[in-house]
Structure 1
Amino acid sequence: MEESGHYYSVYYVSIAVGFLNRIARQHAFFAQMPDEVSMLDATDLEVSYLFRTGDIPSSRLVPNSWRLRVEHGLHALTGRSAAAEQERTRQLLLATRDTDFVRLGLLLHRFGDTYAHTQIDHPDILYFADPAFPLTDRAGHGHLRHGHTPDEPWGLGRRALMRRYLTDLYQLFDTMAQRNPMNLRPTLATNKVSLAQVIDDFSMAEQAVDIMIRRRQEACVDSVYDGRRSIPMACFNQDAGAQREYITVLRRRITERTGGISFDPYEPEDQDLLTWQEFRERYRASYPELNQYNDQTIRDAVRQINAETNTIPSPAF
């Protein structure tokens, strides 16, 4: 799932049910974190494993067992029943302390991926990463055979799935919100956003993406047949434009719905992956919870999720 799913959807729904902005921001930031840190990012680990050459820095080379811990534990690439993994992850989230934002974030990321990583051609089953599959058989390498399409919530084939995710995320956060009134906005009685309104706003974002893509396609076709004009670079990367349009609508709608609350943009959005140490040093001032974790303890947090989700790799790997 892209930033629009892990960061902005979590942020929006957390605000919608009534969390304070600073709490919602932490939910969102840490939910996005696994896709920003090289040792936690499934794609980076998979690519560095599949294309091991002398050009890959030694810092990028990790044991295959760690790759599987991350792909199965954090990104839900287990090949199992999506519904079962969703419920398992929901229960773990409900059992996690409100103040443990790093663990909450890891589990919120997994929760999102139990929806985003359902197979396009078998929607009840998650994609899976299996070391026994060679590169020539893409079925065993996550959603490689379908590219980035599964991670794009605005895609025509993923919109019903996105509504299920939003519904379940809303209910999850609504339950969590009841545990500690100190985490809720004092104005909640007048600016809580209903689930129906959440769905409406995400539908509006999808419609904006449709319009943007249609206009861009028309412009691209025109430029192809007009030899005097160069083809815009946007014609070659429409996903980035779609995500920006989607996010822009969501940010505007949450401000309108709540009478002034605005999203903090996602800071690492346009940056390359960082090591854990780099990520922690860069953001620890804004997110002091990062100070509780070092390279070893973040690995331990992942291993704990592996144990709780029964995603411990075979000793052979």
Structure 2
Amino acid sequence: MEESGHYYTVYYTSLAAGFDEKLAYRHAVLAQMPDEVAWFDAAHIHILYCKTPASRALSSTQSSASGGGQSIWERSRNFVSDQIDRVTKPVREGLNDRETNLGGASQSIPNDWRHSVEYNLHALAPNNASNLVRSSDFQRKKTTEQLDAEHPASLKFGMLLHRLGDSYSHSRIENSKEMYTVSTRDTRWDCVPVKGLKDDNLGHGTHLTFPDNPLLRQGIFFLYLFNLYEVMQRKVRQYPNLRRNPATTLSFEELKARYQKMFNDTLFSPSSYFKDPSLKEQLMEAIRRDCQSTLGVQMESYRPERFQTQTLQQFLDQHRELNDLNIGEQKLKSTLESMRPELTHADQMTEFFQSMTPDQLKAWQQAEAAKAGINLNNINMNNLWPGR
């Protein structure tokens, strides 16, 4: 999601729910951080890992049957990869100086780190995952559960706010019940686009940045806003000592009405999305003005990303207000790992049921009933297995 969704909407919603100004600002900064620090930014990592260069991924699989020769298949793959390298060269050259880990050291990107960032942090599900894991409802539910379990001033809470936004914006444009997906395989070849074959390993790359724009997906945005507001309001009730005092607050209906007005006041149309880059700033400026006039709070401003992503240290140098969190490489890595949605026993059973055809399910039900000595003739199966 763009800055208006991650930074400003988190900021405004935190204030609207009643949080202290400094904590609301922390929420906004941490929610924006994953799109600012190079080794947390999904697009940056995907480009570097999957397209730098494509031929490197193929060299390790090349065989030499006799005299170092290559098969027709290998030669054709190398030709395609060379074309990919040529097309992506300008992008790669602009990013190579940022190929550093969280500590700032030059390092190639490990595949497990790429996958953790894309899934744990940006909610881009594995393309080989079950239907349940790839569903947007599952990703939103699991992220909300984790937020409810965290202290609102913690690093993990702030990073989960980013994931919550992406669990909405990274749902597919043509089917918002499903998440965009990425490949988990340890090969760059599996990450690059192959026109006409598949796009399930590219995240929302095939739809460019359209899915991240709140103005383009207002229905999805308001679902996100409701979820975010409910989380913030529960936390304010749980931690009344973190309230703003005195505090002007908004109900969800009031907050939604404010956003609807801001959306309507922004001179926007889908066709103008790429033609007029000032539209993003118009919306952010509208949020700042509205927060000032409605809540009496002047927000710390944030400008759209204009430059390359930065190292962790560069980001922390700009945000000294995070010093008390003692953010370091190991803490960030462990926090990221703990954000991975865990499947409960009930989730596993749901996956199990979803994996069966109707005939397979019927056979399983009969087998389980027989073990328990139950006669199924006059029993409603839906009452026995309501999860199906």
Cα offsets for 1:121-171 (capped at 9, x unmatched): 11101101114544213321100110000000011xx11111111111111
Greater Cα shift, 27-36 or 193-202: 193-202
* Residue 144 (structure 2) pairs with residue 144 (structure 1): no
Aligned equivalent of 1:299: 333
Aligned equivalent of 1:90: 144
Q: Which amino acid aligns with 1:114?
A: S
Alignment of 1:78-117 (within 5 A): 78=125, 80-100=134-154, 102-117=155-170
In structure 1, what is the Cα distance between the partners aligned to 2:245 and 2:274? Answer: 46
Q: 1:242 aligns with which of 279, 284, 296?
A: 279
Q: 1:203 aligns with which of 249, 260, 284?
A: 260
Aligned equivalent of 2:323: 288
Per the TM alignment, residue 51 of structure 1 is displaced from its structure 2 partner at its CA by: 1.8
Aligned equivalent of 1:167: 226
Name segments (4+ residues, structure 1) moved above 6 Å. none
Per the TM alignment, residue 52 of structure 1 is displaced from its structure 2 partner at its CA by: 0.5
Taking a change above 3 Å as real, the CA distance of residues 276 and 150 of structure 1, as seen in their structure-2 partners, is same
In structure 2, what is the Cα distance between the partners aligned to 1:71 and 1:236? Answer: 25
| Identity rate, percent | 29
Taking a change above 3 Å as real, the CA distance of residues 270 and 287 of structure 1, as seen in their structure-2 partners, is farther
In structure 2, what is the Cα distance between the partners aligned to 1:268 and 1:298? Answer: 24
Per the TM alignment, residue 297 of structure 1 is displaced from its structure 2 partner at its CA by: 1.9
Per the TM alignment, residue 6 of structure 1 is displaced from its structure 2 partner at its CA by: 0.4
In structure 2, what is the Cα distance between the partners aligned to 1:162 and 1:194? Answer: 17
Per the TM alignment, residue 287 of structure 1 is displaced from its structure 2 partner at its CA by: 2.1
Taking a change above 3 Å as real, the CA distance of residues 288 and 169 of structure 1, as seen in their structure-2 partners, is same
In structure 2, what is the Cα distance between the partners aligned to 1:257 and 1:121? Answer: 36
Question: Secondary structure of the equivalent of 2:141?
Answer: helix
TM-score, normalised by the number of residues in structure 2: 0.68
In structure 2, what is the Cα distance between the partners aligned to 1:162 and 1:99? Answer: 24
TM-score, normalised by the number of residues in structure 1: 0.82
Q: 2:314 aligns with which of 278, 285, 289?
A: 278
The answer as to whether partners of 2:193 and 2:199 remain within 8 angstroms in 1 is yes
Per the TM alignment, residue 267 of structure 1 is displaced from its structure 2 partner at its CA by: 6.3
Structure 1 spans left out of the alignment, 5+ residues:
218-234, 311-317
Cα offsets for 1:226-267 (capped at 9, x unmatched): xxxxxxxxx9642x3111111111111111112x21111126
Per the TM alignment, residue 307 of structure 1 is displaced from its structure 2 partner at its CA by: 6.4
Q: Which amino acid aligns with 1:252?
A: R
Taking a change above 3 Å as real, the CA distance of residues 164 and 5 of structure 1, as seen in their structure-2 partners, is same
Alignment of 1:1-317 (within 5 A): 1-53=1-53, 55=93, 56-57=96-97, 59=100, 61-78=108-125, 80-100=134-154, 102-132=155-185, 133=190, 134-136=192-194, 137-155=198-216, 158-188=217-247, 191-209=248-266, 211=267, 237-238=275-276, 240-258=277-295, 260-266=296-302, 269-283=305-319, 285-290=320-325, 292-306=326-340, 308=342
Q: Which amino acid aligns with 1:14?
A: S
In structure 2, what is the Cα distance between the partners aligned to 1:111 and 1:167? Answer: 11
Per the TM alignment, residue 272 of structure 1 is displaced from its structure 2 partner at its CA by: 2.6
Cα offsets for 1:178-203 (capped at 9, x unmatched): 11112112223xx2112112111111
In structure 2, what is the Cα distance between the partners aligned to 1:78 and 1:213? Answer: 30
The answer as to whether partners of 1:75 and 1:109 remain within 8 angstroms in 2 is yes
The answer as to whether partners of 1:31 and 1:108 remain within 8 angstroms in 2 is yes
Taking a change above 3 Å as real, the CA distance of residues 31 and 199 of structure 1, as seen in their structure-2 partners, is same
Per the TM alignment, residue 212 of structure 1 is displaced from its structure 2 partner at its CA by: 5.2
The answer as to whether partners of 1:90 and 1:111 remain within 8 angstroms in 2 is yes
Per the TM alignment, residue 84 of structure 1 is displaced from its structure 2 partner at its CA by: 1.1
In structure 1, what is the Cα distance between the partners aligned to 2:257 and 2:204? Answer: 29
In structure 2, what is the Cα distance between the partners aligned to 1:163 and 1:22? Answer: 25
Cα offsets for 1:190-228 (capped at 9, x unmatched): x2112112111111221122x2559x96xxxxxxxxxxx
Q: CA RMSD in A?
A: 2.3
Structure 2 spans left out of the alignment, 5+ residues:
54-91, 101-106, 127-133, 345-388
Q: Which has the higher helix share?
A: 1
Taking a change above 3 Å as real, the CA distance of residues 309 and 19 of structure 1, as seen in their structure-2 partners, is farther
- In the comparison of the two structures, how many residue pairs are matched? 282
The answer as to whether partners of 1:88 and 1:309 remain within 8 angstroms in 2 is no
In structure 2, what is the Cα distance between the partners aligned to 1:289 and 1:116? Answer: 31
